[in-house]
Amino acid sequence: MKVESVRGMRDILPEEAPLWQKLEAEIRAAFSLYGYGEIRVPLVERVELFSRGVGEETDIVEKQMYVFPDRKGLPLALRPEATASVVRAYVEHGLHATGDLAKLYYLGPMFRYEKPQLGRQRQFHQYGVEAIGSLDPALDAEVMDVAAYLMEKLGLDRKKLTLRLNTIGCREDRGPYREALRRHFLPQRADLCPDCQRRLEENPLRILDCKQPQCRSAIATAPKSLDHVCEACREHFTQVQEFVQALGIRYTLDSTLVRGLDYYTRTVFELCAEDLGAQDALLGGGRYDDLVGLLGGPPTPAVGFAGGMERLVLVLSGQGAPPGAAEPALDLYLVPIGGDAKRAGAKLLASLRRHGISADTDYMGRSLRKAMQVAGRSARYAAILGQDELARGEIKLKNLASGEEKAVGLSQFATDPALFLSG
RNA sequence: GGGAGCGUAGCUCAGUUGGCAGAGCACCGCGCUGUGGCCGCGGCGGUCGCGGGUUCAAGUCCCGUCGCUCCUCCCA
């Protein structure tokens, strides 16, 4: 019976893996440069971490979370995002007790039960940073700058990126603003799409980022959060914009940007790319000043963002030369002829590798001609070892680019291979 | 969640009004017995996504199902 992969779960094959490795390396380098340290949190958490942290009424928790009981009946979830886990770890290990700002980054698989399509899998990969412990508006700007810097390093065309920015105020502002939105939308209730009619009761903020044409006119005239936030939040947002401008980051104010997770407060932002069709959001984030307290820690402000790696891979593979087509991966490919040579060759290979020479040989019983063919496309040098060479204590090295061939002493080659392999 | 398209060899794809399952690439062998890239000849490789149905006969038509892709929704 053929067993196939689970829907929405995909393999990253060796052909594609180098692109992912490059992406991961760039992400780590960028975050390190900005002073963030890696944190690795579990893929599995208690369900209530997300239902409480991310929000009971969010799409993620309501219909996208992988939930299952363990053998003792404890309700567990595969993490749909990482911020809640990072904050849990922050609280659980008393990181707040250092009195310092915690600058953390992560990288890894997340799980959401969704309809899979290009750039959106059920197991997908996110990277992100969390700066926990400061309300400084300069920090909001730094988080946006590290995101912008990463995109630059990845070679994304700045002109094709749009940073959308908004403030949704603090917890105290939320109630009055919701009421203002309800008052605005209620008279037009019948004109709204079914989803938004429901949102009017549960979470009127979410109506703002509805894309249905029928809701558009009502949204256009809706009260803006900026006009309904308190003086402190307004001042914070003003300063955030001053820092963002000072950093030279292009952005547009978007009063309809509200984000899908309940934990956001004040600053929210999203970076979108053109040419990515319906899945154009590259990363999103903002402040979550209440989450640490909500999860049992002391009141602690925080800001961060998360981005999807699948979409970056799409963008990266669409630009520049496809990887894997160019350089031979190996320094040397050994072609032994006969049983004695094979044994001597095995010993030689082990020695070469211990000298840092990447080397391989044939295990498929290929003919000499076929083995040379494999050598020609996978290595810089072919090493031919047969009875003749063995009898003389030599090995033939062939430079596969130039075709030049020379015999060298076998034992000398084994002890100091670099001497004979130029370039 | 709603709508549409596509599943044929490892890969990219042909397959006519229903009538013997095909090509290119890759792989293996030979020409060239111990020397790669080029060329030529030959070979291996298929439950035609899966399950039903119609028919003398189904890759082809019908129904279901699974998967992928696109639009929409949501988002990363």
Determine the pLDDT at residue A326.
Answer: 59
pLDDT in tens, A321-341: 544 445 778 999 999 999 999
Q: Provide, in whole angstroms, the distance separating residue A307's CA from nucleotide B50's C1'.
A: 37
Going along chain A from its start, the domains and CATH numbers come out as: 17-170+229-317 (3.30.930.10), 330-419 (3.40.50.800)
Determine the pLDDT at residue A351.
Answer: 97
Task: Give the rounded percent of residues in chain A with a pLDDT score beyond 90.
Answer: 74
Q: What is the mean pLDDT of residues A374-390?
A: 94
Q: Is the CB of A396 under 7 A from strand B?
A: yes
- Give the pair of three-digit tokens for residue A384: 């031919």
Average pLDDT of the residues of chain A? 92
Where does the pLDDT of residue A423 fall: very low under 50, low under 70, confident under 90, or very high at 90 and above? low
**A282, A309 in Cβ contact below 8 A?**
no
Question: How far is residue A161's CA from residue A251's CA, in Å, rounded to a whole number?
Answer: 9
Q: Provide, in whole angstroms, the distance separating residue A119's CA from nucleotide B50's C1'.
A: 27
Determine the pLDDT at residue A409.
Answer: 97
Q: Provide, in whole angstroms, the distance separating residue A293's CA from nucleotide B18's C1'.
A: 70
Q: What is the ipTM of this complex?
A: 0.88
At residue A123, does pLDDT exceed 50?
A: yes
At residue A286, does pLDDT exceed 70?
A: yes
Q: Is the CB of A306 under 7 A from strand B?
A: yes
- Give the pair of three-digit tokens for residue A382: 């072919």
At residue A60, does pLDDT exceed 50?
A: yes
| Chain-centre distance for alpha carbon A272 | 15
pLDDT in tens, A131-181: 999 999 999 999 999 999 999 999 988 888 889 999 999 999 999 999 999
pLDDT in tens, A263-273: 999 999 999 88
Determine the pLDDT at residue A316.
Answer: 83
Determine the pLDDT at residue A324.
Answer: 44
Task: Give the rounded percent of residues in chain A with a pLDDT score beyond 70.
Answer: 98
Which residue in the block uniquely carries the two structure tokens 């953390």?
Answer: A104
Determine the pLDDT at residue A128.
Answer: 98
Q: Provide, in whole angstroms, the distance separating residue A168's CA from nucleotide B39's C1'.
A: 70
**Which of strand B's nucleotides are less than 7 A from any protein C-beta?**
1-2, 27-30, 32-37, 47, 66-76
Q: Is the CB of A211 under 7 A from strand B?
A: yes
Determine the pLDDT at residue A1.
Answer: 59
Lowest-confidence range among A34-48, A101-115, A270-284, A385-399? A270-284
Q: What is the mean pLDDT of residues A347-372?
A: 95
**A212, A196 in Cβ contact below 8 A?**
yes
Q: Which residues of A in 109-138 have their CB below 7 Å from strand B's atoms?
A: 112, 114-121, 124, 126
pLDDT in tens, A61-105: 988 999 999 999 999 999 999 999 999 999 999 999 988 999 999
Determine the pLDDT at residue A126.
Answer: 96
| The nucleotide closest to A337 (CA, C1' atoms) | B34
Q: DSSP 3-state assignment of A39? A: coil
Q: DSSP 3-state assignment of A131? A: strand
Strands A330-336 and A359-361: parallel
Q: Is the CB of A210 under 7 A from strand B?
A: yes
Q: DSSP 3-state assignment of A35? A: coil
pLDDT in tens, A175-233: 999 999 999 999 998 888 888 888 888 889 999 988 888 888 899 999 999 999 999 99
Determine the pLDDT at residue A391.
Answer: 95
Question: How far is residue A126's CA from residue A108's CA, in Å, rounded to a whole number?
Answer: 6
Q: Which of A259, A266, A278, A269 is nearest to A164 (CA)?
A: A269
Q: What is the DSSP letter of A57?
A: T
